[in-house]
Amino acid sequence: MVSKFFGFGKSKQSGRSEQQAPAVSSASSSRSSPAPSISGEHDVNEDMVSQVTTSLQSSSIFSKGRHTIGTGTSSNLTDGSSLFDKGLGLTAIDENDSHGRSTVGKPLRVLDYERLTSLNPVIEEESVSMKEYNDDHSGLASGSGSGMGSGNVSTSANSTLSKHNAGLNSSRRSERHYSTTSLEVLENELKLLNENLVSLMDDIHQNVTNVSKAVIQAIEFFKKFLPDTNRVTYTVTMSNSLQLRSITKIVSHFVDNLLNASAFQNSRSILLKAYFSFLQKLNINVFEDQMDNIHTLPTMRNFAIDDKCALPNMDKISLIVDEIVRCDPSCISDQDGAFIAPVLRGLSRKSAILTVMFGLPNPQQEHHDMIKALFSTFPDLHFYCVKDYIKPCAEVLSGISPEMKAKPMETTKAPTFVPPFRVPIDAFSPPISLSISTQESQKMTGTLGGYLYPKIPKNDPKFAQFADATFAVTCAHVVLSENQDYPYVSAPSALLQNTYKNSLMEERQHYSITSPEYDGFNQELQRVESNLKWQSDHKFGQVVWGERSIVDKSLSDFAIIKVNPEFTCQNYLGDDINGLPDPALRFRNLYVTEKIENVKPGANVFKIGATSNYTTGKVNGTKLVYWADNRIQSNEFVISSPQPLFANAGDSGAWVLSKLDGKLGLGVAGILHSYDGELKQFGLFTPIQTILTRLQAVTGVEWDINPPPVASTTD
């Protein structure tokens, strides 16, 4: 699919406005060729989405053809036209257009042997104290200007670059001539660094040089950037400097695509250190979160696209995703679970650029070739491919149901035993976020999301029996994948309890029958078996409806469970949850009271799943697109922040929650149904309003997360 929507004609390429001539040229002339002005960035970027050659044949995820499901391969693009071109009114550039840059039949540039063979050895510099940098940075004098993009960089503080020309060696002085203003020096240094790195990357992609030599040269380029300057006194931002975004893109391409093998670990670390020092000079803080370890080198991370993102071409990313979703699935195929995720990526949120992440269960060489082909098409948009995939986040286990005399559910534990599931303090008032499964489940378990209430008048003859009913909600694949015939469910999960019981029985055999350890195992086994028998006699509820299907190009995966009237339920997290690091999640802030109908991009959210418990993240501003069930699907998703994990197997059905502004209580944004199974940093969810609207369409009754008000008993 990528080739189908990225396979349209090239146009202007920002950051490299002068086409690289294939003719022989000297090294110095290639370095000193003029670069576009920073102030002219808007014109350069105005048509970024029309830059990929129509002749590119790339077999990427979501490519054309239906012969590769689950095989790890894809068919080539045979149609030179693009639905994206037609949908957006973009036209291909003629091959003879002097402003285009065709990659077809283009000869290799003459190798600059002086630059590649006279490499200085990489010498470890004296370690920079990152703690010292973090402390000093907070007191930097920053300008009041908007940044580098429009040429109005702040000059409120005295420049520290006035000695730059005097410190240049003779070879560099012969190549460039600076005016006396420090701003011009900084702009030209950024341009020169970007030109050198872009040229170096061309050499790699055209097999002129190898990656190892290129890394050494790239590090040398960073060392030559303002060598006599510790930090500039200007404010430089990613949103206003095309050169800075392009440099960051090249470093990201090195780290994520060229140096991702373990053999390049040292090269990757040294390059990141040089890039980190470069950001230090530009006063870009990579320690935004005080919890970050300031004594270790930062690594590339993904961040959510939020409402504060001011990077150019945001609208183009959204249009690409929308066009992919509207594509006819009959002409598209790929590995099951493959996805495309637009995110921000960098050492920190302030140093991140727009990135398109391609996740595949089994990446092939052709997918890496696709990334290589896409690199030169967008000057400040990063692409990378990684082993990852979208899968439902229900946990698959096995268990056997026991038989035992019934006793009330017990919460006391034998010494040293902590069950891997949560047991409610009051068995007749189960809180939300408990583990859940069908009573006879042999493999599937998930999370109880919360409770829904139908708004039914008591005098309604058709639905009067449901007027005061409470319905639990979770994912359909949790409770309907094994039994479609209205199964009974258990909370906590009967499957988890049976699996725990079997593990206890196995471990008990390692001890003597007369030992105190054996007796301890017996006590815990009796407690678990008693709870299971009690659940069998007091059924929590029964599934009455559910679906896992595609509705309006998005996955609808939820089921409602009619709760036994002897249970009293409310949308309450419970005060027995351990390990909540947020001190605000206490008392009234443990109750879910409102629906969040329009989730703001970048909103802070959290979930409490049966497996991974409490995790936090930020809602991404652009949907994720993935291939599953033989069709394209799109979903809102959360990116974990700050910890590297948001969801795991067994968390399906958990509500995605957020604290309310200026009031007590929590808001529910949606229900978690899938995650990326390899990295576990994304959580896909269905908005709560979508679920309620779908329920109303199916049942003809309005639904809410709050119970209807109690009718007056006065005559």
C-beta of residue 214 within 8 angstroms of C-beta of residue 204: yes
Tokens matching residue 388: 């990852």
Distances, alpha carbon 668 to alpha carbons 489, 535, 536, in Å: 23, 29, 31
Mean residue pLDDT across the chain: 76
307-321, 495-509, 535-549, 614-628: lowest mean pLDDT where? 307-321
Contact between 72 and 364 under an 8 Å Cβ cutoff? The reply is: yes
* Torsion sign over Cα 108, 114, 115, 121: positive
- pLDDT tier at 298, thresholds 50, 70, 90: confident
Q: Which residues contact 145 (CB under 8 A, 6 or more apart)?
A: 152, 153, 154, 155, 234, 235
Task: Report the greatest alpha carbon distance in the chain.
Answer: 100
Residues in the chain: 715
Determine the Cα–Cα distance for residues 252 and 242; give it in Å rounded to an integer.
15
Active-site positions?
A: 477, 557, 652
Q: Which of 245, 262, 425, 265 is nearest to 346 (CA)?
A: 245
Q: Which two tokens stand for residue 702?
A: 């309005």
Query: 77-102: string of b/e by CB count within 10 Å (b at 16+)?
Result: beeeebbbbeebebebbeeeeeebbb
Q: What is the DSSP string of 63-99?
A: EE-SS-TTTS--PPP---S-HHHHHHT--PPPTT-TT
Least confident of 283-297, 395-409, 522-536, 657-671: 395-409
Q: How confident is the model at residue 484 (pLDDT cuts 50, 70, 90)?
A: confident
pLDDT, tens digit (0-9, with 9 covering 90-100), for 49-73: 344 333 333 444 444 333 333 434 3
Q: How confident is the model at residue 46 (pLDDT cuts 50, 70, 90)?
A: very low
Average pLDDT over residues 15-42: 40
Type of residue at 699 = T
pLDDT at site 565: 95
CB 635 within 8 A of CB 684: yes
By three-state DSSP, how is residue 353 classified? strand
Pairing relationship of beta strands 666-676 and 682-687 according to DSSP bridges: antiparallel
Contact 390, 684 (CB under 8 A): yes
More confident residue, 493 or 406: 493
The DSSP annotation for 259-328 comes to: S-SGGGHHHHHHHHHHHHHHHHHTT--S--STTS-TTS----EEE---TT---TTHHHHHHHHHHHHTS-
For the chain, the structural domain boundaries read 183-388, 395-706
Residue 39 has pLDDT above 60, yes or no: no
Secondary structure of 585-601 as H, E, C letters: CCHHHHEEEEECCCCCC
CA dihedral 395, 596, 584, 679 (to 10 degrees): 40
pLDDT at 321: 82
Q: Do 14 and 41 contact (CB within 8 A), yes or no?
A: yes
Euclidean distance between CA atoms 139 and 58, whole angstroms: 49
Nearest Cα to 244, choosing from 320, 132, 147? 147
Alpha helices in 297-432 (DSSP H): 314-325, 365-375
Contacts of 535 (CB under 8 A, 6+ apart): 409, 439, 490, 494
DSSP letter string, 675-712: EETTT--EEEEEEHHHHHHHHHHHHSS-EESSPPPPPP
Q: Which pLDDT band, with edges at 50, 70 and 90, does 533 fall under?
A: very high
| Cβ-based neighbours of 643, under 8 Å, separated by 6 or more | 615, 616
| pLDDT for res 175 | 42
pLDDT in tens, 205-262: 999 999 999 999 999 999 999 988 888 888 889 998 999 999 999 999 999 999 999 9
Structure tokens at 685: 């969810």
pLDDT band at 289; cut points 50, 70, 90: low
Cα distances (Å, whole numbers) of residue 635 to 321, 482, 670, 683: 11, 25, 11, 10
Residues in contact with 236: Cβ distance below 8 Å, sequence separation at least 6, in sequence order: 147, 148, 153, 186, 244, 282, 283, 284
Rounded to the nearest 5 degrees, what angle is found at the Cα of 348, between the Cα atoms of 347 and 349? 140
- Beta-carbon contacts of 310 under 8 Å, excluding residues fewer than 6 positions away, are 239
Question: If pLDDT is split at 50, 70 and 90, which confidence band does 412 have?
Answer: low
Cα gap 94→230, rounded to integer Å: 47
Taking the whole predicted model, whether its pTM rises above 0.85 is answered as: no
Integer Cα distance of 432 and 567 in angstroms: 13
Tokens standing for residue 392:
């439902």
Is residue 239 within 8 A of residue 38, CB to CB? The reply is no
Nearest Cα residue to 628 out of 340, 322, 356: 340
Question: How much of the chain exceeds pLDDT 70, in percent?
Answer: 69
Which CA distances in Å does 492 have to 22, 263, 424, 447?
69, 46, 8, 9
The answer to whether the beta carbons of residues 615 and 646 sit under 8 Å apart is: yes
Q: Give the residue, 46 or 548, on which the prediction is more confident.
A: 548
Per-residue pLDDT of 149-186, as tens digits, reads: 433 333 333 333 343 344 444 444 434 443 334 788 89
Q: How far is Cα 675 from Cα 70, in angstroms, rounded to an integer?
A: 19
Please say whether the beta carbons of 469 and 569 come within 8 A. Answer: no
Residue 642's contacts (CB-CB under 8 Å, 6 or more residues apart) are 289, 291, 292, 616
Q: Which residue has the higher pLDDT, 434 or 1?
A: 434
Half-sphere exposure of 183 (CA within 13 A, CB side): 20
